[in-house]
Copies of this chain bind each other. A is one copy, B any other.
């Protein structure tokens, strides 16, 4: 029917897996904002949730690394990580292969996605779902942007991907919600883990809130790497979400939380 929601949220295995190491005064408001966004999605009557993720070698490897991918199965499973380590139980997640097929066919008119008839969710999708859809009530359509293994897709194509998903969502009968999930600045899985560039994050979020394509796509990868770390490459998911929405964004929560290894954000955009 139409896109009814477009939001952004940080992921990271530490957000659930290292919950007890985080200062409660930062952690609890972040969790609350995350859950509030789940309420906001349910309030729209969304039947399916597209999760634009930046997965971490759970499904895609350098033998065949798609710039963009969309899942096309009736069922997914996750997390791929040790459930005790991530503190999210292994579970089945409901998909909709037919809905995926229609979305993919429309997206393919302008953006060249790989389709995937199986998909193992890693923390990049499971952490958001843990907060946004704890009852496992939504149909999930996983989508992915390669933000890990260079050569990476250019930012203006990530914007085009968001526009294509919007056109596709508007063309199917269902009410569709969407979230982009990444990190902003972060240096994950390195000895630098916990390093966060708050000024860079806040500047990015200001551009994200403006939904201005030129400002959002003005970074080179070298600049992002220098200022935002290799984790900063994941801004592509937020750029796509902004492009899908088209309207101004509101940051509901932002705080650097070092033990979660990323700047932690929850926000959503006006659908215009």
Contact = CB atoms under 8 A, between A and B. Distances in A.
Interface string A127-162: 000000000000000000000000101100100010
Nearest to A60: B64
B65 A116 contact: yes
A68 B64 CA distance: 10
Nearest to A69: B64
Interface stretch (A103-111, A175-183, A251-259): A103-111
Contacts of A50: none
Interface residues of A, number: 29
A111 B112 contact: yes
Contact of A62 (B66, B105, B117, B154): B117
A145 to B, nearest CB: 10
Given A113-B112, A151-B105, A154-B109, A64 B66 contact: yes
A192 interface: no
Contacts of A113: 67, 112
Nearest to A161: B112
Contacts of A154: 108-109
Contacts of A114: 64-67, 114
Contacts of A111: 112
Nearest to A115: B65
A154 B105 CA distance: 9
A35 B68 CA distance: 38
9 contacts: A63-B116, A63-B117, A67-B108, A67-B113, A68-B112, A108-B151, A108-B153, A108-B154, A112-B161
- Which 5 residue pairs across A and B have the least CB separation, nearest first? A67-B112, A112-B112, A66-B114, A62-B117, A105-B151
